Amino acid sequence: MAADVSSRRWVVWLLLTMAICLSCAEAGRGQVPAKRRLEVQRQLRRLNKRAVRSIKSPDGDIIDCVHISHQPAFDHPSFKNHTIQMRPAFHPEGLQFGDSKVASQKRTPPLSQPWHQHGRCPKNTIPIRRTRRKDALRASSISKYGRKKHKSIPNPLSVDPDLLNESGHQHAISYVEGDTYYGAKATINVWEPKIQQANEFSLSQLWILGGSFGEDLNSIEAGWQVSPDLYGDNNTRLFTYWTSDSYQATGCYNLLCSGFIQISSEIAMGATIYPISRYGGSQYDISILVWKDPREGHWWMQFGNDYVLGYWPSFLFSYLADSASMIEWGGEVVNSEPDGEHTSTAMGSGHFPGEGFGKASYFRNIQIVDDSNKLRTPTGVGTFTERSSCYDVRIGDGDQWGHYFYYGGPGRNSNCP
Protein backbone atom coordinates (compact mmCIF):
# COMPACT_ATOMS: atom_id res chain seq x y z
CA MET A 1 0.00 0.00 0.00
CA ALA A 2 2.79 2.41 0.98
CA ALA A 3 4.53 1.57 -2.27
CA ASP A 4 1.37 2.51 -4.23
CA VAL A 5 1.11 5.88 -2.44
CA SER A 6 4.80 6.57 -3.05
CA SER A 7 4.41 5.64 -6.70
CA ARG A 8 1.42 7.95 -7.14
CA ARG A 9 3.29 10.85 -5.48
CA TRP A 10 6.22 10.28 -7.81
CA VAL A 11 3.92 10.38 -10.86
CA VAL A 12 2.26 13.60 -9.63
CA TRP A 13 5.67 15.21 -9.00
CA LEU A 14 6.86 14.15 -12.47
CA LEU A 15 3.78 15.61 -14.16
CA LEU A 16 4.11 18.90 -12.26
CA THR A 17 7.80 19.13 -13.15
CA MET A 18 7.02 18.55 -16.85
CA ALA A 19 4.28 21.18 -16.81
CA ILE A 20 6.61 23.73 -15.20
CA CYS A 21 9.36 22.98 -17.72
CA LEU A 22 6.95 23.33 -20.64
CA SER A 23 5.72 26.68 -19.27
CA CYS A 24 9.29 27.90 -18.91
CA ALA A 25 10.10 26.80 -22.45
CA GLU A 26 7.05 28.60 -23.86
CA ALA A 27 7.88 31.75 -21.88
CA GLY A 28 11.47 31.62 -23.11
CA ARG A 29 10.41 31.35 -26.73
CA GLY A 30 7.99 34.26 -26.47
CA GLN A 31 9.96 36.42 -24.07
CA VAL A 32 10.35 40.05 -25.03
CA PRO A 33 12.46 42.37 -22.85
CA ALA A 34 10.31 44.68 -20.72
CA LYS A 35 11.76 47.83 -22.30
CA ARG A 36 11.05 46.58 -25.84
CA ARG A 37 7.55 45.51 -24.77
CA LEU A 38 6.78 49.02 -23.51
CA GLU A 39 8.20 50.61 -26.67
CA VAL A 40 6.01 48.37 -28.83
CA GLN A 41 2.92 49.18 -26.77
CA ARG A 42 3.55 52.91 -27.12
CA GLN A 43 4.13 52.52 -30.86
CA LEU A 44 0.88 50.59 -31.32
CA ARG A 45 -1.08 53.18 -29.34
CA ARG A 46 0.39 55.91 -31.53
CA LEU A 47 -0.26 54.17 -34.85
CA ASN A 48 -3.59 52.44 -34.22
CA LYS A 49 -6.13 55.23 -33.88
CA ARG A 50 -9.63 54.79 -32.53
CA ALA A 51 -11.72 53.29 -35.31
CA VAL A 52 -15.24 54.23 -36.34
CA ARG A 53 -15.43 50.78 -37.93
CA SER A 54 -13.03 47.84 -38.34
CA ILE A 55 -13.08 45.45 -41.29
CA LYS A 56 -11.47 41.99 -41.30
CA SER A 57 -9.92 41.38 -44.69
CA PRO A 58 -9.85 37.87 -46.24
CA ASP A 59 -6.04 38.09 -46.38
CA GLY A 60 -5.81 38.46 -42.57
CA ASP A 61 -5.40 42.24 -42.39
CA ILE A 62 -7.61 44.39 -40.20
CA ILE A 63 -8.58 47.70 -41.78
CA ASP A 64 -9.57 50.41 -39.31
CA CYS A 65 -11.80 53.21 -40.57
CA VAL A 66 -10.40 56.25 -38.73
CA HIS A 67 -11.85 59.75 -38.78
CA ILE A 68 -9.90 61.76 -41.33
CA SER A 69 -8.80 64.35 -38.73
CA HIS A 70 -7.40 61.65 -36.41
CA GLN A 71 -4.95 60.07 -38.87
CA PRO A 72 -1.25 59.72 -37.88
CA ALA A 73 -0.16 62.81 -39.83
CA PHE A 74 -1.73 65.04 -37.18
CA ASP A 75 0.38 63.63 -34.37
CA HIS A 76 3.16 66.01 -35.39
CA PRO A 77 3.17 69.60 -34.05
CA SER A 78 3.84 70.96 -37.57
CA PHE A 79 0.34 69.83 -38.58
CA LYS A 80 -1.44 71.39 -35.59
CA ASN A 81 -3.03 74.24 -37.55
CA HIS A 82 -3.07 72.51 -40.94
CA THR A 83 -6.38 72.59 -42.79
CA ILE A 84 -6.99 69.37 -44.73
CA GLN A 85 -7.23 69.96 -48.48
CA MET A 86 -10.09 67.71 -49.64
CA ARG A 87 -9.18 68.05 -53.31
CA PRO A 88 -6.31 69.43 -55.40
CA ALA A 89 -6.82 72.86 -56.92
CA PHE A 90 -5.57 71.56 -60.28
CA HIS A 91 -4.99 68.23 -62.01
CA PRO A 92 -2.31 67.99 -64.68
CA GLU A 93 -3.45 68.45 -68.24
CA GLY A 94 -2.35 65.98 -70.88
CA LEU A 95 -2.93 63.10 -73.20
CA GLN A 96 -4.58 60.02 -71.72
CA PHE A 97 -3.37 56.76 -73.24
CA GLY A 98 -5.55 53.77 -74.06
CA ASP A 99 -5.38 50.21 -72.77
CA SER A 100 -5.81 48.43 -76.09
CA LYS A 101 -2.79 46.13 -75.88
CA VAL A 102 -3.67 44.89 -72.41
CA ALA A 103 -7.37 44.75 -73.23
CA SER A 104 -6.63 42.53 -76.23
CA GLN A 105 -5.18 40.01 -73.80
CA LYS A 106 -8.57 39.64 -72.04
CA ARG A 107 -7.76 41.98 -69.23
CA THR A 108 -10.53 41.34 -66.72
CA PRO A 109 -11.83 43.32 -63.71
CA PRO A 110 -9.86 46.32 -62.44
CA LEU A 111 -7.52 45.83 -59.51
CA SER A 112 -9.02 46.03 -56.08
CA GLN A 113 -8.17 45.34 -52.42
CA PRO A 114 -9.47 42.20 -50.62
CA TRP A 115 -10.93 44.10 -47.65
CA HIS A 116 -13.54 45.58 -50.00
CA GLN A 117 -15.25 42.16 -49.99
CA HIS A 118 -16.23 42.66 -46.34
CA GLY A 119 -17.23 46.32 -46.34
CA ARG A 120 -16.25 49.92 -46.96
CA CYS A 121 -15.24 52.82 -44.79
CA PRO A 122 -17.85 55.52 -44.07
CA LYS A 123 -17.65 59.07 -45.35
CA ASN A 124 -15.13 61.32 -43.53
CA THR A 125 -13.00 58.34 -42.52
CA ILE A 126 -9.90 56.82 -44.09
CA PRO A 127 -8.89 53.12 -44.16
CA ILE A 128 -5.70 52.34 -42.21
CA ARG A 129 -4.11 48.88 -42.10
CA ARG A 130 -3.83 48.02 -38.40
CA THR A 131 -0.29 47.51 -37.12
CA ARG A 132 -0.03 44.44 -34.91
CA ARG A 133 2.43 43.58 -32.17
CA LYS A 134 4.15 41.01 -34.36
CA ASP A 135 4.61 43.63 -37.12
CA ALA A 136 6.49 45.97 -34.79
CA LEU A 137 8.54 43.15 -33.26
CA ARG A 138 9.90 42.12 -36.67
CA ALA A 139 11.76 45.44 -36.91
CA SER A 140 15.33 45.55 -35.60
CA SER A 141 14.25 48.49 -33.43
CA ILE A 142 11.11 50.55 -32.92
CA SER A 143 12.83 53.59 -34.41
CA LYS A 144 13.46 51.67 -37.65
CA TYR A 145 9.97 50.22 -38.02
CA GLY A 146 8.43 51.28 -41.32
CA ARG A 147 11.60 52.90 -42.62
CA LYS A 148 13.94 52.16 -45.52
CA LYS A 149 17.67 51.89 -45.08
CA HIS A 150 19.98 54.77 -45.93
CA LYS A 151 21.37 54.89 -49.49
CA SER A 152 18.69 52.75 -51.08
CA ILE A 153 17.92 55.07 -54.02
CA PRO A 154 19.40 54.15 -57.41
CA ASN A 155 21.97 56.72 -58.49
CA PRO A 156 22.46 56.35 -62.25
CA LEU A 157 24.99 59.18 -62.21
CA SER A 158 27.47 57.28 -60.02
CA VAL A 159 30.36 55.54 -61.75
CA ASP A 160 31.96 53.95 -58.68
CA PRO A 161 31.14 50.19 -58.70
CA ASP A 162 31.89 49.92 -54.98
CA LEU A 163 29.32 52.61 -54.19
CA LEU A 164 26.77 50.99 -56.47
CA ASN A 165 26.59 47.80 -54.41
CA GLU A 166 27.41 48.98 -50.89
CA SER A 167 23.79 49.30 -49.74
CA GLY A 168 22.71 45.81 -50.77
CA HIS A 169 19.96 47.34 -52.93
CA GLN A 170 19.83 46.64 -56.67
CA HIS A 171 17.74 48.30 -59.34
CA ALA A 172 16.62 48.23 -62.95
CA ILE A 173 15.21 51.64 -63.88
CA SER A 174 14.52 54.27 -66.50
CA TYR A 175 15.10 57.88 -65.57
CA VAL A 176 15.21 61.51 -66.69
CA GLU A 177 17.28 64.35 -65.22
CA GLY A 178 18.64 67.75 -66.14
CA ASP A 179 15.36 69.69 -66.03
CA THR A 180 12.77 70.74 -63.45
CA TYR A 181 9.88 68.32 -62.94
CA TYR A 182 6.54 68.73 -61.20
CA GLY A 183 5.30 65.17 -61.21
CA ALA A 184 5.33 61.80 -62.94
CA LYS A 185 2.92 59.14 -64.09
CA ALA A 186 3.18 55.48 -65.07
CA THR A 187 1.12 52.35 -65.53
CA ILE A 188 2.85 49.47 -63.75
CA ASN A 189 2.42 45.76 -64.42
CA VAL A 190 1.55 43.95 -61.13
CA TRP A 191 3.21 40.68 -60.10
CA GLU A 192 4.00 38.71 -56.95
CA PRO A 193 7.79 38.14 -57.11
CA LYS A 194 9.38 35.39 -55.05
CA ILE A 195 11.37 36.59 -52.01
CA GLN A 196 14.23 34.37 -50.82
CA GLN A 197 14.91 35.88 -47.39
CA ALA A 198 12.39 37.47 -44.99
CA ASN A 199 14.64 40.55 -44.65
CA GLU A 200 14.60 41.19 -48.41
CA PHE A 201 11.94 42.88 -50.53
CA SER A 202 11.02 43.44 -54.17
CA LEU A 203 9.20 46.53 -55.39
CA SER A 204 8.21 48.43 -58.51
CA GLN A 205 7.69 52.16 -58.18
CA LEU A 206 8.28 55.70 -59.35
CA TRP A 207 10.63 58.10 -57.56
CA ILE A 208 10.24 61.91 -57.47
CA LEU A 209 13.68 63.21 -56.43
CA GLY A 210 15.19 66.53 -55.38
CA GLY A 211 18.63 67.46 -54.07
CA SER A 212 21.85 65.49 -54.26
CA PHE A 213 22.45 61.81 -53.54
CA GLY A 214 24.13 62.79 -50.27
CA GLU A 215 22.51 63.48 -46.91
CA ASP A 216 19.92 66.00 -48.15
CA LEU A 217 18.03 63.95 -50.75
CA ASN A 218 14.25 64.49 -50.94
CA SER A 219 12.18 61.61 -52.30
CA ILE A 220 8.51 60.79 -52.88
CA GLU A 221 7.85 57.19 -53.91
CA ALA A 222 4.79 55.11 -54.84
CA GLY A 223 4.13 51.70 -56.35
CA TRP A 224 3.70 48.08 -55.28
CA GLN A 225 5.93 45.89 -53.13
CA VAL A 226 6.36 42.46 -51.58
CA SER A 227 8.03 42.81 -48.16
CA PRO A 228 7.74 39.94 -45.64
CA ASP A 229 9.66 41.93 -43.04
CA LEU A 230 7.28 44.88 -43.13
CA TYR A 231 3.96 43.07 -43.61
CA GLY A 232 4.57 39.50 -42.42
CA ASP A 233 3.56 37.84 -45.70
CA ASN A 234 4.36 37.67 -49.42
CA ASN A 235 1.34 39.58 -50.70
CA THR A 236 1.70 42.30 -53.32
CA ARG A 237 0.76 45.59 -51.66
CA LEU A 238 0.23 49.22 -52.61
CA PHE A 239 2.74 51.49 -50.88
CA THR A 240 4.12 55.00 -50.60
CA TYR A 241 7.30 56.38 -49.06
CA TRP A 242 8.83 59.78 -48.44
CA THR A 243 12.00 61.25 -46.96
CA SER A 244 13.55 64.72 -46.81
CA ASP A 245 17.02 63.67 -45.58
CA SER A 246 17.99 60.58 -47.58
CA TYR A 247 16.22 58.11 -45.24
CA GLN A 248 18.08 59.21 -42.12
CA ALA A 249 15.55 60.63 -39.66
CA THR A 250 12.51 61.60 -41.72
CA GLY A 251 9.88 59.69 -43.61
CA CYS A 252 8.31 56.26 -43.63
CA TYR A 253 6.15 53.82 -45.54
CA ASN A 254 2.45 54.52 -45.95
CA LEU A 255 0.90 56.09 -42.81
CA LEU A 256 3.46 54.78 -40.32
CA CYS A 257 4.54 58.29 -39.33
CA SER A 258 3.38 61.87 -39.69
CA GLY A 259 3.66 63.01 -43.29
CA PHE A 260 1.23 61.87 -45.96
CA ILE A 261 -2.33 63.15 -45.47
CA GLN A 262 -4.92 60.75 -46.84
CA ILE A 263 -8.34 61.91 -47.99
CA SER A 264 -9.69 58.79 -49.75
CA SER A 265 -12.00 56.40 -47.91
CA GLU A 266 -11.67 53.78 -50.65
CA ILE A 267 -8.01 52.68 -50.81
CA ALA A 268 -5.80 51.54 -47.91
CA MET A 269 -2.06 52.18 -48.06
CA GLY A 270 -0.11 48.98 -47.41
CA ALA A 271 -3.10 46.78 -48.22
CA THR A 272 -3.00 43.88 -50.71
CA ILE A 273 -3.89 44.57 -54.33
CA TYR A 274 -5.33 41.93 -56.62
CA PRO A 275 -5.58 40.22 -59.05
CA ILE A 276 -1.94 39.82 -60.07
CA SER A 277 -0.45 38.92 -63.43
CA ARG A 278 0.37 35.33 -64.36
CA TYR A 279 3.25 34.19 -66.53
CA GLY A 280 1.81 33.58 -70.00
CA GLY A 281 -1.67 34.47 -68.71
CA SER A 282 -3.80 37.51 -67.90
CA GLN A 283 -1.93 40.74 -67.24
CA TYR A 284 -2.92 43.42 -64.73
CA ASP A 285 -1.52 46.86 -64.06
CA ILE A 286 -2.05 49.93 -61.89
CA SER A 287 -1.71 53.59 -62.80
CA ILE A 288 -0.03 56.01 -60.41
CA LEU A 289 0.23 59.76 -60.82
CA VAL A 290 2.10 62.07 -58.44
CA TRP A 291 2.08 65.81 -59.13
CA LYS A 292 2.65 69.17 -57.48
CA ASP A 293 -0.44 71.35 -57.22
CA PRO A 294 0.63 74.72 -58.65
CA ARG A 295 -1.65 76.66 -56.28
CA GLU A 296 -1.06 75.08 -52.85
CA GLY A 297 2.32 73.49 -53.65
CA HIS A 298 1.46 70.10 -52.13
CA TRP A 299 2.43 66.82 -53.85
CA TRP A 300 -0.73 64.82 -54.65
CA MET A 301 -1.11 61.13 -55.47
CA GLN A 302 -3.75 59.54 -57.66
CA PHE A 303 -4.33 55.78 -57.95
CA GLY A 304 -5.97 54.67 -61.20
CA ASN A 305 -8.42 57.04 -62.86
CA ASP A 306 -10.79 57.36 -59.92
CA TYR A 307 -8.95 57.69 -56.62
CA VAL A 308 -7.14 60.82 -55.46
CA LEU A 309 -5.58 59.35 -52.33
CA GLY A 310 -4.09 62.39 -50.62
CA TYR A 311 -0.98 64.55 -50.50
CA TRP A 312 2.43 65.24 -49.00
CA PRO A 313 2.42 68.86 -47.70
CA SER A 314 5.13 70.96 -49.29
CA PHE A 315 6.58 71.98 -45.91
CA LEU A 316 7.84 68.41 -45.39
CA PHE A 317 10.56 69.05 -47.96
CA SER A 318 13.42 71.37 -48.82
CA TYR A 319 14.21 70.80 -52.51
CA LEU A 320 10.80 69.32 -53.37
CA ALA A 321 9.13 72.37 -51.86
CA ASP A 322 10.00 73.86 -55.26
CA SER A 323 10.39 71.09 -57.85
CA ALA A 324 12.08 67.76 -58.62
CA SER A 325 15.40 67.43 -60.44
CA MET A 326 15.12 63.73 -61.37
CA ILE A 327 12.36 61.18 -62.02
CA GLU A 328 12.94 57.42 -61.88
CA TRP A 329 10.69 54.49 -62.74
CA GLY A 330 11.53 50.84 -62.18
CA GLY A 331 12.27 47.98 -59.83
CA GLU A 332 14.31 47.53 -56.66
CA VAL A 333 15.29 44.49 -54.59
CA VAL A 334 17.35 43.90 -51.48
CA ASN A 335 20.26 41.52 -52.05
CA SER A 336 21.41 40.28 -48.63
CA GLU A 337 23.75 37.74 -50.31
CA PRO A 338 22.57 34.71 -48.34
CA ASP A 339 25.33 32.09 -47.99
CA GLY A 340 27.68 34.42 -49.89
CA GLU A 341 25.71 34.11 -53.13
CA HIS A 342 23.50 36.60 -54.93
CA THR A 343 19.90 36.41 -53.75
CA SER A 344 17.29 34.63 -55.87
CA THR A 345 14.72 37.26 -54.89
CA ALA A 346 12.94 38.16 -58.12
CA MET A 347 12.29 41.60 -59.57
CA GLY A 348 9.06 42.22 -61.49
CA SER A 349 7.88 38.90 -62.93
CA GLY A 350 11.23 37.24 -62.20
CA HIS A 351 11.98 37.07 -65.94
CA PHE A 352 14.28 39.16 -68.09
CA PRO A 353 12.97 41.98 -70.34
CA GLY A 354 13.71 40.06 -73.54
CA GLU A 355 10.77 37.71 -72.92
CA GLY A 356 8.31 40.54 -73.60
CA PHE A 357 4.61 40.95 -72.91
CA GLY A 358 2.90 38.38 -70.69
CA LYS A 359 6.22 37.12 -69.35
CA ALA A 360 8.38 40.13 -68.41
CA SER A 361 7.11 42.98 -66.24
CA TYR A 362 6.59 46.43 -67.76
CA PHE A 363 6.04 50.12 -67.11
CA ARG A 364 4.03 51.79 -69.87
CA ASN A 365 2.95 55.35 -70.68
CA ILE A 366 5.64 56.90 -68.52
CA GLN A 367 5.17 60.68 -68.40
CA ILE A 368 6.39 63.73 -66.53
CA VAL A 369 4.54 66.87 -65.42
CA ASP A 370 6.19 70.05 -66.70
CA ASP A 371 6.24 73.60 -65.29
CA SER A 372 2.94 74.44 -66.99
CA ASN A 373 1.20 71.55 -65.19
CA LYS A 374 0.95 69.44 -68.33
CA LEU A 375 1.65 65.74 -68.66
CA ARG A 376 4.07 65.08 -71.46
CA THR A 377 6.29 62.35 -72.82
CA PRO A 378 9.78 62.55 -71.31
CA THR A 379 12.81 63.18 -73.51
CA GLY A 380 16.34 61.90 -73.02
CA VAL A 381 15.25 58.82 -71.08
CA GLY A 382 18.19 56.83 -69.73
CA THR A 383 18.41 53.35 -68.19
CA PHE A 384 20.40 52.04 -65.25
CA THR A 385 21.08 48.73 -63.54
CA GLU A 386 23.93 47.69 -61.26
CA ARG A 387 24.20 44.15 -62.69
CA SER A 388 22.32 43.44 -65.91
CA SER A 389 23.04 39.72 -65.57
CA CYS A 390 20.82 39.70 -62.46
CA TYR A 391 18.17 42.32 -63.33
CA ASP A 392 17.92 44.23 -66.59
CA VAL A 393 15.89 46.94 -68.33
CA ARG A 394 14.98 47.51 -71.99
CA ILE A 395 13.11 50.61 -73.26
CA GLY A 396 10.70 50.98 -76.20
CA ASP A 397 8.23 53.38 -77.77
CA GLY A 398 4.80 52.76 -79.29
CA ASP A 399 1.50 54.50 -80.08
CA GLN A 400 -0.72 53.04 -77.36
CA TRP A 401 1.99 52.45 -74.78
CA GLY A 402 3.87 55.71 -75.32
CA HIS A 403 7.30 55.45 -73.71
CA TYR A 404 7.57 52.06 -72.01
CA PHE A 405 10.11 49.57 -70.79
CA TYR A 406 10.39 45.97 -69.70
CA TYR A 407 12.51 45.27 -66.64
CA GLY A 408 13.36 42.70 -63.98
CA GLY A 409 14.96 39.31 -63.65
CA PRO A 410 15.41 36.26 -61.42
CA GLY A 411 18.40 37.37 -59.40
CA ARG A 412 20.81 34.47 -58.94
CA ASN A 413 21.39 32.44 -62.12
CA SER A 414 24.36 30.98 -63.99
CA ASN A 415 25.44 34.48 -65.08
CA CYS A 416 24.69 36.03 -61.70
CA PRO A 417 26.27 33.70 -59.13
Cα separation values, 199 from 132, 226, 228, 240, 402, Å: 18, 11, 7, 19, 36
pLDDT digits (tens, 9 = 90+) for 106-139: 344 567 899 999 999 999 999 999 999 999 999 8
Nearest to 287 by CA among 393, 397, 204, 172: 204
What separation, in Å, do the N-terminal and C-terminal C-alpha atoms of the chain show?
73
50 and 70 in contact (C-beta within 8 Å)? yes
DSSP annotation string for 262-315: E--SS--BT-B-B----TTS---EEEEEEEE-TTT--EEEEETTTEEEEEE-GG
Q: Catalytic residue positions?
A: 221, 332
- For the entire predicted model, the pTM comes to 0.89
Q: Cα Rg for the chain, rounded, in angstroms? A: 24
pLDDT < 50 regions, the chain: 2, 5, 19-29, 97-108, 161-163
pLDDT tens for each residue of 217-254 = 999 999 999 999 999 999 999 999 999 999 999 999 99
